[in-house]
Structure formats: structure tokens, C-alpha cells
Amino acid sequence: MPKTHSPSKVRNGVSEGRRRVVVERLLPEVDGGVRPIRRIPGEPVEVLADVIVDGHEPLRVHLEYRPPGSVAWKSRPMEQDGNDRWRETLVFDRPGTALFRVRAWVDDVAHWQGGFSKKVEAGMTADFPLELAEGAKIIREHAGRAEDEAVRKDLLEWVSRWENRPDSPEAIRLSLDRAMGALAGGIPDPRFVTESPWEREVHIERERALRGAWYEFFPRSAGKIPGRHATLREAMERLPRIAAMGFDVVYLPPIHPIGESFRKGPNNTPDAGPDVPGSPWAIGSRAGGHTAIDPRLGTLEDFQAFLEKAGASGLEVAMDIAFQCSPDHPYVKDHPDWFRRRPDGSIHYAENPPKKYQDIYPFDFLTDDWENLWAELRNVVLFWVDKGIRIFRVDNPHTKPFTFWEWLIREVHQVNPEVVFLAEAFTRPKIMYHLAHVGFSQSYTFFTWKNTRSELVDYLTELTTPPVRDFFRPNLWPNTPDILHATLQKGGRPAFLLRLMLAATLSASYGIYGPAYEWCENVPVREGSEEYLNSEKYEIRHWEPEPDHSLSGVITRINRIRRENPALGWNHTLTFHPVDNDQILAFSKTDPGTGEWILGVVNLDPFHVQTGWLSFSPGGSGDLSVEDLMTGSVYHWSSGRHYIRLDPTDPNLLPFHILRRAS
């Protein structure tokens, strides 16, 4: 005979068979509830629960939550949102790990009061004595379960004032007191209370995990003499200017010793010899490896001075973590089994056919000595954490095991939970999302390759709405030292302006490969390539004096707008608005706390004037006056449709508006 189970199965000493309430779904959830939801302090968690019960009795649904650092659970009622869905919003005020769950039960007191009220309205006086006696019994049972003596006393006094007085209108009125009924209904019989079978985890990281403006530059190019390798001491003199432009984070490519073997020269030419600077991503030489500073840049003391100057300027420093080695790295000699060898005994170098990177050896994460490899790489990160680094931009994390990153990030956060990890992963979306699952705070995106209105709307909607919004934080970059998109190559200064505006306003975090973007560098190494001609990856560049067409003034203004308008610091409030011209994109963001909004309107065509009618009616208003925060111009709009004209061909105009309600 098949094995059967008794309906009186007991769990924790309490019979489960009489629990009528079912919690079917609890949102938000990530990866079926296996992974944590991600937030920063002050960012709302909109909790939804699908809760059902047989019959028609009213339910009480409570959201229970445990804030970071607390061992005690708190509780608050949820509001019904239609179709058996319940809603409540949580906001946590500090980093750490929080939990939430749902408890629900049939509210016997509300059920009795509701039924009795209907009989009173219908004049069914014959039923009053029995109804009052039944209500008194129910409430006394609830009062008996009260842990708070004052609550128990209040409930019993309430009942005593109206029970056994069926002919008194005052008794009937007292018995239907909804506030007292709600107090009693909040003390259910624990045998019949249903707890959600899941607890959801919320990982709250510091603000920089969600928002910030990043500026990337190569310290070796920061000198005043063209062609000469600069030091960190010279590079730190650039920091006040970067801070004055309104950036929050300075990101440095690798600052470690660069290998001499197979060193790449200008435009990635092979076998350039030791006299060229080489690629910073070819890490390691006789001078040291991942915990050393390139001697041409200076010393660890110089780096410490750089960090101090950055902090005094209001900047954080993001360090590049590239877990790979040059052929001259000490690891190659000391740990040869950490690298994969070909049948002829040579070590596999990095390749992305037809590209070859003979100057870079990837680690073999399948080595039998994997535990020591993992421990060493963790120690590298912790070395720089000890020196004061709190942000890491991780190079190509999708080419290393997910389990490694999950372990490493957890290990680092046990030492310092404020460390932020940015994934530089341009790969398949599900892999990028899984890197967020395993702990990366934010990620590069495909924004660089999204240039039409439909591409931008579809992609940004995906990134800023559940389920992706609950675990993945985008950092939008219009360029990097590796990527010069065709839009920038062909669109000139207007393309740089509009892509800057989009990156800085569509996302709470954005970044630029700074000097090249400021100067609107747009020449590829060859037609059809996305690599820069004379790429700074392979040679020292000189970025002075600033050209007339520099974007620094526009960048400064946009970053100031970002700081002065909290709406731009959120992603989940992004909303797109209709325009009857596909070359014009319109969107808004709203600050959840104040309700204030920012409206962005941009011409996606860098070559031609575009016009159209925008539909935008905040709060259903008709007439609307808006101020362009870039220019100070004020526009008075009537009705819900507004005429837009954006001219990228006039050097005195901008191909976009950043608008808010005029004061």
C-alpha cells in the first residue's frame, strides 16, 4: 500500500491541519528566495504577499521584520491591495542584513463584529442576546492570550461594559467599537496562525553601492611633460579638479608593476620591448605583483598620500582588481601549477580571437592547488582593504568561477562590510545577473550599445523594475579605454553630449573614461573597430591644455544637478513618457520621499534638428512651468502635450533638457 500521512501531523508541537490561511507568494524575491534582495539605507522595500483563506472571514496579515543588527522581530499590519494581495513598505536606515516574513490569521473578532453589525442594521433584535454572548466569549479568549497585562485589562473591562445587556443600545454601540475589536483581533490563537514558509533576506549596502559618479584616468599620463611617465604624487594634483567637476569616485586602472616579456606597444603592437610603458593589465615583474606599486608610479607611501588627498577632496578611490599575470609575475615562478600549460610546456596566454594577449597569463582555477590560489587572491584584496580601499572594479569576473567570487566577497565583507565590488562584465545577461546574485554590488551594462529609443526604453525598463531591480544595480559608461562606440566615432561632440546626459540621468551610478571623454576623442584604431587610436592602454598620453571643445563645463553642471536633485539618485522610479518622434526620448525620475521629479528630454540624433510633442502631466496637472537646469530657461507649457525642439547642430545649444518644476 502507498504510504499515507495523517492529517493531524504535528510540527513544533502545534497541529497544522486547522490552519486555514495560506501564504502563496511573498515578494520581492530573488532567485526563488535563495539570494538576498539588495537595497541601500533609505531605499524602500515594497513587500507584497498573496494570502488566501477558505470562506469569507476577514484576515489579519502582518509583516514581520528584523532590522540589521537586531535579534528581535518587529511587526506591522499590511494593507489589502485587492485580489488577495497585501502590501506594506519597509525602509532600513543602516547597512547590514535584514529579514522579513509574513504571519496571517483569520480575524475572529472582526468577523463577529461584521456579522453582528449587519444584524443590527437589519433590525434582527431576536439574535442580539446570543450574538453579544458569543462576542464576549470570543473577546475573553483573545484577552486571555494577551502578554501585556494592561491590554488584557482593557479588553476585559470593555467586555464587562456591554455583555449581558442585550436590550441596551449603548451596549450594542460599545460592542461594535472597531478600535477595541482590532486590539483584540491582534491576539490570535497561535495554533491557527500561518507563517510564510519563507524568510526573505535583504542585504543593505552603503550608499555608494547604488549611486555615484565615476571618473577613470591613468596616473602615468597625469604629468606636465608630454611622453614622460608621471608619478602618483603628480597624479594626485589632478584630484581637486576631478572633485570640482562633481565626481564621487576616481577609478585607477592597475597600478602594479608591468611585465617586460611580450610587452605591448602603441596600438597593441607586439614585442615592443621594455622601453614602452606596456599595458597596466599585464601585472607583475621583478618589482612585485598584485600587492606592489609600479616603481615608475612611486611607492606604497605615495599611494597612501594619493588616498589621503582624494579623501580630503571628497573623493573615493576605486582600485582595479585584475586576477591575471604577466609572464614575469612572481606567481609564475613560485606557483607554476596555478597556470595552464600547453602540450609543448608553454603557458596558455589570454586570447579573444583574433586578438592575442601574449603579455597576460590567466589563472587556472581548476588547478589542484585551488584552495591556496583562492586564499592568496583573497589576501590580495584584503591587503588593499587594509590600505584604505573600499571600492574595487573587478576586471572580467565572468571568466572566473562564480563560487570563487561568492566566497571571496563574503570573506572580504566579514572583514569590512563597506567594501563595494563593481563587475566589469560585458557578457550574456544571465551571467551578469548571476554575478549580482553572488555578491557584486553593481555592474557595467550594455548601455554603450543601446542607442535607439526602443533599445533604451526596453533595456532600462528591464534593469529598473522587478525582478532585476531587486538584485542588479547598473553603472552606465558611455566609453571605456576598451570601448569607443560607433555612435561616438561618427556623431561628434553632440553624440558625446547626449550620451553623457543619458548615462548621468538614467542611472544613479555612471562613469566616464575621463580625459578622452572630456576631449571628445573619437578616432578608432581602424574602421569598424571599437578601440581607440593611440589607446592610453599602451602608451602615455598628455591631456593638457584643455581644448575649447572640452566637455568639462557640461560635466560639472550635470554632476551638480545630480547632487542637488535626489530624484536622480534612484533607479526604480524611472518612467518613460510618450513623444511622437522616435528620435526623442523623454523620461522622468521621482524622489520617493518628497515626490519631486526631474524630467529628461534628449535628441538621440546627433546630426539633425528633431521636434515632437511630449505627453507629460505630473499629478494630472494642466498648465506647467518648467526650468531647464542646464541653462536656466523657463518654459510655460499648457495642457498635457508639450512642443519639443532640440538642435544638435548649433554649438551654442544642447541636444537635451534636464527639467524640473519651476519655482
**513 annotated ligand-binding residue:** no
CA proximity to 198, closest of 108, 118, 103: 103
Is 324 annotated as contributing to ligand binding? yes
Q: Which amino acid is at 263?
A: R
The catalytic residue among 302, 424, 518, 605 is: 424
Q: Determine how many CB atoms are found less than 10 A away from the CB of residue 38.
A: 26
End-to-end CA distance of the chain: 79
The reply, when asked if residue 264 is annotated as ligand binding, is: yes
Q: Residue length, the chain? A: 663
C-alpha cell at 30: 530573488
Q: Which amino acid is at 119?
A: K
Taking alpha carbons only, the member of 428, 430, 363, 369 closest to residue 401 is 363
CA 417 to chain centre: 16
Cα separation, 570 vs 43, in Å, equals 8
DSSP strand pairing (85-90 vs 45-52)? antiparallel
Locate 655 and state its grid cell. 541636444
Is 451 annotated among the ligand-binding residues?
no
Distance CA 109, CA 121 (A): 18
Q: How far apart are CA 651 and CA 520, in angstroms?
A: 14
Q: Is 157 a catalytic residue?
A: no
395 catalytic residue (yes or no): yes
Asked whether residue 372 is marked as a ligand-binding residue, the answer is no
CA distances from 442 to 202, 410, 471, 624, 653 (A): 16, 15, 9, 37, 34
Let me know: does 232 contact 303? Beta carbons within 8 Å: yes
Of 294, 316, 395, 539, which residue is the catalytic one? 395
Q: Could you write out the DSSP letters of every residue in 66-98? A: E-TT--S-EEEEPEE-STTEEEEEE---SSEEE
Angstrom distances, CA of residue 474 to CA of 135, 211, 444, 576: 56, 9, 6, 17
Rounded Cα distance between 386 and 126, Å, is 80
Binding site, annotated residues: 264, 324, 359, 396, 537-538
Binding site, annotated residues for alpha-maltose 1-phosphate: 264, 324, 359, 396, 537-538
User: Residues with catalytic annotation?
Assistant: 395, 424
